């Protein structure tokens, strides 16, 4: 074991300052005389983008397996599979001499327009946290680090380097931080990458509250915080805030600034030492993993195929799929000949090989006549001729498979989408083909929801194949021909139209700020709130078989928050083929002190079933499944009372409900103060005990004040009328009838409830 503290004591100020800024775009600064190794990092997240030239930011990278992007990964709802994928990523990192993979990204999909949504898991923090945790565990179990990114509230590309995400504390804690929190606490990523943007006015790179108070102190993060590439503005301020490593390097002026700040007493050297300690700890840990060798590209390609197949979501199927007995299949759309399998930007991978959809279909149906038409151009021009050609082919075939890929000019890192639409040509193509060929399957390649209202009713089947990774094409072919029964489910809502989406009206902001006005209500939480129809709900996905849910039960109908409860349900495959079902558990709080979403995902399980088979699925729900973040208590709290556990096949398809009663074990500090209202006093048990006896008196006195007879006639409810008035103000009205001054009465009561009397 390297004695890091002793090493730090031997380092010069210059060496320490240099260590905290990259030596190149992808490496830290080694110190040969002390045996301090360099650490090499690479993107991330769904494959290695390892550049040969470490001073380059965007050249072609060394070949690596391109796995499906996070939208697809999350749709597998399969943490074990992600763990296996993490192992493979680590093996590639080792072969490519990489110590830390820059990923995964766990930012929330606040709006479907977010340019990087394809790199993120979900609109739901619980699901995103579970998937990220598994991926990190898979990677790190092989001695390769990860960088959980982008911390935090980085949900759009518009002005991503500067905009301030204005988000209230409760929303931050309940929506934007939990995926990070889960991954940090459970998987212990070696590094966390800060976001470019500001959060409530302060850059992610200088945000003491996020980097130090929450991440390091509250969550116990032991790794180092790295800047997103170019996210540092003031190096000294960022160090003081808890940003350990600035990337990319070299940045001589920044290093010099740190040294000057230490020398002149503006930066405590202990702060620098702490950053150095964190970086050295990771650098030595990474160095312990022997690097080099090769990786099994064929095996990883097969794994990429498996992951893609598990993540694809059969959105609609009126019985056309799986394809069987067709003699002639028209395969239309340029994505059939040129797979669209990844997104643009820092996650862009140089794949080891790429499966081509048309070829994969052909390989599985050698005896079937397969014809191909391009259908739409690569750019945003409109070509009626391509549509006409496609129509002729479609008409002559028994069935048409339309491969529609959302082009990169509409979806990439660096810019947000402007709408949810496919290109005008693609919509016209689908409509024209469906008109002549009722047996049309649409296969989509995209990283985020697209609007389908213009054509969905005209086609019997739609398969969401995502940015499916280099082996996605063979997975598509397996699903279409029924070799693989689809089991993926959406990790995000597909809205009917952009105008319905949660952030509309607060997107993308301007004048330096974007207000998260929808608060807690993103994704299905919002559609529940508005009772609004959607195209496909969160958690939706079809199978070639059907599942029945029965016999929902709980380990205890009344339980303590700290003990939690386990909910079980029997799931039966009621169809004719083997299949997998993803069972989801949502929690509904019957009565809460603060407004809460109607339901929130708190558990899930994926279960494989043979025809006729029944299995029991059990899901444990702990304290946090029932808690919410109370901004005044500044902590997660539970409240005693009734909860419903909703067991469903999607957010809109709840099959079984069990009601339970939670007993909170929290002894929360009393929040009552001189401004507290009558209702606040009467709903706090301690307040009620003190004010209760007085309340009866107050009630009769206020009645006298308002004139009893008339009041009875209009049915005045004292609590409704005066509930929101500070107790002190209520007492002011009655001052003449009281023996003591109202302020003294309240002061006395406060002393009692706060245990000072």
Do residues 466 and 73 make contact, with C-beta atoms less than 8 angstroms apart? no
Q: What share of the chain is helix, strand, coil (3-state, %, to 5)?
A: 35, 20, 45
Query: What are 185's two structure tokens?
Result: 């606490």
Is 447 a binding residue for ligand BGC by CB under 6 A? The answer is: no
Site size for ligand BGC (CB under 6 A): 7
Judged by CB, which is closer to ligand BGC: 149, or 525?
Answer: 149
Judged by CB, which is closer to ligand BGC: 118, or 524?
Answer: 118
Min dist CB 195 to ligand BGC, Å, is 8
In the bound state, the residue with its beta carbon closest to ligand BGC is: 346
How far apart (Å, rounded) are the C-alpha atoms in residues 704 and 150?
61
Is 206 a binding residue for ligand BGC by CB under 6 A? The answer is: no
Is 46 a binding residue for ligand BGC by CB under 6 A? The answer is: no
445: how many CB neighbours lie within 10 A of its CB?
26
Return the DSSP state at 325. S
Is 43 a binding residue for ligand BGC by CB under 6 A? The answer is: yes
Q: Is the peptide bond before 150 cis (omega within 30 degrees of 0)?
A: yes
Return the DSSP state at 117. G
For residues 289 to 328, the per-residue mask of contacts with ligand BGC, x marking binding by CB under 6 A and - elsewhere, is ----------------------------------------
Min dist CB 280 to ligand BGC, Å, is 22
Query: What are 484's two structure tokens?
Result: 């693989």
How far apart (Å, rounded) are the C-alpha atoms in residues 502 and 421?
17
Residues 590-609 that bind ligand BGC (CB under 6 A): none
Min dist CB 119 to ligand BGC, Å, is 8
Is 102 a binding residue for ligand BGC by CB under 6 A? The answer is: yes
Active-site entry in 43, 78, 124, 228:
228
Residues with Cβ within 8 Å of 658's Cβ and at least 6 positions away in sequence, in order, are 552, 553, 554, 567, 644, 645, 647
Rounded alpha-carbon distances, angstroms, from residue 287 to 39, 273, 274, 616: 8, 20, 20, 45
Is 228 a binding residue for ligand BGC by CB under 6 A? The answer is: yes
Do residues 652 and 537 make contact, with C-beta atoms less than 8 angstroms apart? yes
Judged by CB, which is closer to ligand BGC: 164, or 400?
Answer: 164
Is 149 a binding residue for ligand BGC by CB under 6 A? The answer is: yes
Judged by CB, which is closer to ligand BGC: 25, or 430?
Answer: 25
Min dist CB 575 to ligand BGC, Å, is 42
Is 229 a binding residue for ligand BGC by CB under 6 A? The answer is: yes
Judged by CB, which is closer to ligand BGC: 44, or 523?
Answer: 44
For residues 341 to 380, the per-residue mask of contacts with ligand BGC, x marking binding by CB under 6 A and - elsewhere, is -----x----------------------------------
Min dist CB 196 to ligand BGC, Å, is 7
Strand (E) or helix (H) holding 417: none
* CA-based R_g, the chain, Å: 29
Is 44 a binding residue for ligand BGC by CB under 6 A? The answer is: yes
Judged by CB, which is closer to ligand BGC: 102, or 522?
Answer: 102
Is 189 a binding residue for ligand BGC by CB under 6 A? The answer is: no
Q: From edge to edge, which strands make up the β-sheet containing 399-405? A: 313-317, 461-464, 440-445, 399-405, 328-332, 369-373
Min dist CB 417 to ligand BGC, Å, is 17
Phi–psi pair at 514, nearest 5 degrees: -130, 125
Is 416 a binding residue for ligand BGC by CB under 6 A? The answer is: no
Bridging pattern class, strands 224-226 and 202-203: unpaired
Residues 702-731 that bind ligand BGC (CB under 6 A): none
How far apart (Å, rounded) are the C-alpha atoms in residues 503 and 501?
6
Active site residue 416: no
Is 412 a binding residue for ligand BGC by CB under 6 A? The answer is: no
Min dist CB 692 to ligand BGC, Å, is 57
Judged by CB, which is closer to ligand BGC: 43, or 360?
Answer: 43
Min dist CB 40 to ligand BGC, Å, is 13
How far does the chain reach from its first CA to its final CA, in angstroms? 56
How far apart (Å, rounded) are the C-alpha atoms in residues 395 and 412?
35
Is 145 a binding residue for ligand BGC by CB under 6 A? The answer is: no
Do residues 613 and 545 make contact, with C-beta atoms less than 8 angstroms apart? no
Return the DSSP state at 396. H
Is 528 a binding residue for ligand BGC by CB under 6 A? The answer is: no
Report the DSSP beta bridge partners of residue 568. 553, 618
List residues with catalytic annotation: 228
Residues within the interface to ligand BGC (CB under 6 A):
43-44, 102, 149, 228-229, 346
């Amino acid at each position: 074991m390297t004695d890091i503290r002793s090493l730090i004591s031997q380092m010069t100020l210059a060496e320490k300052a240099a260590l905290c800024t990259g030596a190149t775009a992808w490496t830290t600064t080694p110190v040969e005389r002390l045996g301090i190794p360099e650490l090499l990092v690479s993107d991330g997240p769904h494959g290695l983008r390892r550049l040969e030239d470490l001073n380059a930011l965007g050249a072609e990278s060394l070949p690596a397996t391109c796995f499906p992007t996070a939208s697809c990964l999350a749709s597998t709802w399969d943490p074990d599979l992600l763990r296996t994928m993490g192992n493979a990523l680590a093996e590639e990192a080792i072969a490519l001499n990489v110590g830390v993979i820059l990923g995964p990204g766990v930012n929330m999909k606040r709006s479907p327009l977010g340019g990087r949504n394809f790199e993120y898991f979900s609109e739901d923090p619980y699901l995103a946290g579970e998937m990220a945790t598994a991926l990190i565990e898979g990677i790190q179990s092989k001695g390769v680090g990860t960088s959980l990114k982008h911390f935090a509230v980085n949900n759009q590309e518009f002005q991503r380097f500067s905009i301030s995400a204005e988000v209230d504390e409760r929303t931050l804690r309940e929506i934007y931080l939990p995926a990070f929190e889960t991954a940090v606490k459970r998987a212990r990523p070696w590094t966390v990458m800060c976001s470019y943007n500001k959060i409530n006015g302060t850059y992610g790179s200088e945000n003491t509250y996020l980097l130090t108070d929450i991440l390091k102190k509250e969550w116990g993060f032991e790794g180092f915080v790295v800047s997103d590439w170019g996210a540092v503005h003031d190096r000294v301020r960022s160090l003081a805030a808890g940003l350990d490593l600035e990337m990319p390097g070299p940045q001589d002026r920044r290093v010099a600034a740190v040294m000057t700040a230490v020398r002149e007493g503006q930066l405590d050297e202990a702060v620098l030492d702490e950053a150095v300690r964190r970086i050295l700890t990771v650098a030595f840990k990474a160095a312990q993993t022997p690097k080099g060798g090769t990786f099994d590209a064929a095996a990883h390609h097969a794994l990429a195929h498996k992951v893609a197949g598990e993540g694809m979501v059969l959105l609609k199927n009126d019985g056309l799929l799986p394809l069987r007995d067709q003699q002639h299949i028209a395969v239309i759309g340029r994505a059939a000949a040129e797979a669209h399998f990844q997104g643009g930007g820092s996650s862009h991978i140089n794949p080891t090989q790429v499966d081509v959809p048309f070829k994969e279909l052909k390989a599985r149906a050698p005896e079937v006549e397969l014809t191909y038409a391009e259908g739409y151009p690569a750019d945003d021009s409109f070509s009626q001729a391509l549509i006409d050609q496609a129509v002729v082919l479609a008409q002559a075939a028994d069935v048409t498979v339309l491969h529609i890929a959302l082009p990169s000019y509409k979806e990439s890192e660096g810019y947000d989408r402007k709408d949810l639409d496919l290109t005008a040509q693609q919509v016209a193509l689908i409509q024209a083909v469906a008109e002549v060929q009722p047996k049309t399957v649409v296969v989509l390649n995209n990283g985020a929801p697209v609007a389908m209202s213009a054509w969905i009713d005209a086609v019997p089947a739609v398969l969401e194949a995502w940015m499916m990774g280099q082996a996605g094409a063979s997975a598509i072919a397996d699903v279409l021909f029924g070799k693989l029964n689809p089991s993926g489910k959406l990790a995000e809502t597909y809205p009917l139209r952009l105008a319905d989406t949660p952030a509309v009206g607060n997107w993308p902001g301007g004048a330096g700020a974007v207000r998260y006005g929808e608060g807690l209500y993103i994704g299905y939480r919002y559609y529940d709130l508005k009772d609004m129809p959607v195209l496909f709900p969160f958690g939706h996905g079809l199978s070639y078989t059907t599942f029945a849910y029965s016999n929902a039960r709980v380990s205890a109908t009344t339980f303590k928050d700290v003990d939690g409860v386990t909910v079980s349900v029997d799931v039966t495959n009621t169809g004719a083929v083997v299949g997998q079902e993803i069972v989801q558990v949502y929690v509904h709080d019957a009565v809460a002190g603060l407004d809460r979403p109607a339901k929130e995902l708190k558990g899930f399980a994926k279960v494989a079933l043979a025809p006729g088979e029944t299995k029991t699925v059990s899901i444990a729900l702990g304290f946090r499944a029932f808690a919410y973040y109370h901004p005044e208590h500044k902590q997660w709290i539970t409240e005693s009372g009734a909860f419903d556990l909703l067991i469903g096949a999607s957010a809109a398809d709840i099959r079984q409900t069990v009601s339970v009663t939670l007993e909170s074990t929290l002894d929360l500090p009393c929040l009552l103060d001189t401004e507290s209202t009558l209702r606040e006093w009467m709903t706090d048990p301690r307040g009620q005990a003190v004010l209760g006896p007085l309340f009866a008196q107050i009630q009769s006195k206020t009645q006298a004040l308002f004139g009893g007879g008339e009041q009875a006639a209009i049915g005045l409810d004292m609590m409704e009328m005066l509930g929101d008035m500070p107790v002190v103000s209520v007492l002011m009205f009655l001052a003449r009838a009281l023996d003591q001054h109202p302020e003294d009465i309240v002061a006395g009561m406060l002393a009692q409830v706060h245990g000072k009397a």
